[in-house]
Amino acid sequence: MADQDAQDRNLPASAKKIERSRAEGQLPRSRDLGHFAMMLAGGAMLSAGAPQAVDWMQHLLEFSLRFDAQQLARPGMMTERLVDLGLRGLVVVLGVGLLMWLVAVAANVASGGWNLTFKPLAPKFSHLNPLTGFARLFQWAGLGQALKACLLALVLGAVGAMVLKDRIAAYVGIMSVPLPAALAYAGQQLMGGLALLGLALALFAVIDVPLQRQLYLRRLRMSREEMKQEMKELEGNVEIKAKMRAKMREMAKRRMLAAVPTADLVVMNPTHYAVALKYEEGSMGAPKVVAKGADLLAMKIRDLAKESKVPVLQSPMLARALYAHAELDREIPAALFAAVAQVLAYVYQLKAALAGRGPAPAAAPDPQVPLELDPHHKPAKPVDDLDLETDE
């Protein structure tokens, strides 16, 4: 089952999954790089501060063995001396420990980047299950880490054994020289051995850093189902978004139809398009489109207009132009001002005649609409094109 799951996860990890894993504290970390960095820092510190460390230890030893009769007469003298020496040693230990901690942090940042999270500190009771831990020992990742650790220990042990074998005679000869010279010589021999061990660790770190990166990305690989689910989370559920858009269209349609009874005129085509116009002198610079629709929606606008006694004018070209170029709840384009003014003037005259305030208007106007605004208008082909087609 695990093999099948690993085969299904053949897609590279997405940026979101990598970010989520970083938030959970999962990063590519190389222990070999940390070991090498700490050994390098320790060797540099030993090389730079060895003379000062020897002098400090010599003075500390002299201070520890210096006594007089008055000090020995006090009962708490030994305790005070022990506390004093312990504090001095603690200062050194804390300084070295802080430096090593900074080096370890820098090595981890270099291998996996900076990441601040407290999630790894949360207790995970599943890790306390001995069966789960026992099963992890036989996974490929666990076996690989174990084999790598064994190989590293074998290499370091072999290097250390060779260094010790080559220099065992020199270490024995140290006993015949004075202490300062013996310490200096022992330090030189120790630095040489540490250099060889550091070289071995450097080789392991060079291999381990990109290896851990590849293993990290391999663990985060995704299946097609996971990728689809993530795309849904990023873009939103397609079905939910479609329902929301349909709901919004329905609400906009209801709001638009509710505005039809307030219109001054509905222009139709006569069945395919319908556009309801409204104009309020003083508050509008030009007539505004309050509703528009095609096919069944156009019929609905027409029926509402007739129920509300809103004039309906048949003007196919004007209806097509308004439907194609006029935006809902916006003023009509300037190119259609003259044509709309003609039909509105006719409507106002018709309303005045029906109310007995004026003569009846003449026949319904045929407004002139620019041909380029009619979506059904096809421009004539140039003469040159006609000649070419004739020649062919």
State pLDDT tens for residues 304-363: 988 888 888 888 888 888 888 888 888 888 888 888 888 888 888 877 777 767 777 777
20 & 111 share domain:
yes
At residue 308, φ and ψ (nearest 5 deg) are -95, 5
Q: Which of 166, 198, 232 is the last residue of a domain?
A: 232
Tokens representing residue 229 in the block? 């689910």
**Sequence-separated (6 or more) residues with CB below 8 Å from residue 216:** 26, 27, 28, 112
9 & 103 share domain:
yes
Cβ 113 vs Cβ 216: under 8 Å: no
In a domain, 239, yes or no: no
What pLDDT sits at residue 211? 84
How far is it, in rounded angstroms, from Cα 305 to Cα 112? 69
Q: Which amino acid is located at 357 in the chain?
A: R
13 & 152 share domain:
yes
76 & 154 share domain:
yes
Q: Which of 203, 232, 261 is the last residue of a domain?
A: 232
What pLDDT sits at residue 242? 75
In a domain, 302, yes or no: yes
Domains identified in the chain, total number: 2
In a domain, 181, yes or no: yes
53 & 153 share domain:
yes
The parent domain of residue 103 ranges over 2-115+135-232
201 & 319 share domain:
no
Q: Which residue has the tokens 């072999």?
A: 158
223 & 286 share domain:
no
Cβ 268 vs Cβ 312: under 8 Å: yes
In a domain, 390, yes or no: no
Tokens representing residue 197 in the block? 């061990």
In a domain, 142, yes or no: yes
99 & 196 share domain:
yes
160 & 214 share domain:
yes
301 & 194 share domain:
no
Chunked into runs of 10 residues, the chain (392 residues) has average pLDDT values of: 56 79 77 82 76 73 68 72 81 83 82 69 63 62 75 84 78 71 71 79 85 83 81 67 81 86 85 86 83 89 88 86 87 86 82 73 76 72 49 45
Among candidate residues 200, 193, 188, the one with its CA nearest the CA of residue 162: 193
Among candidate residues 144, 143, 125, the one with its CA nearest the CA of residue 135: 143
Residue 248, CA distances (Å) to 65, 66, 242, 274, 328 in order: 91, 92, 10, 21, 15
In a domain, 223, yes or no: yes
159 & 290 share domain:
no
212 & 274 share domain:
no
In a domain, 85, yes or no: yes
What pLDDT sits at residue 384? 53
What pLDDT sits at residue 221? 84
How far is it, in rounded angstroms, from Cα 29 to Cα 107? 9
In a domain, 187, yes or no: yes
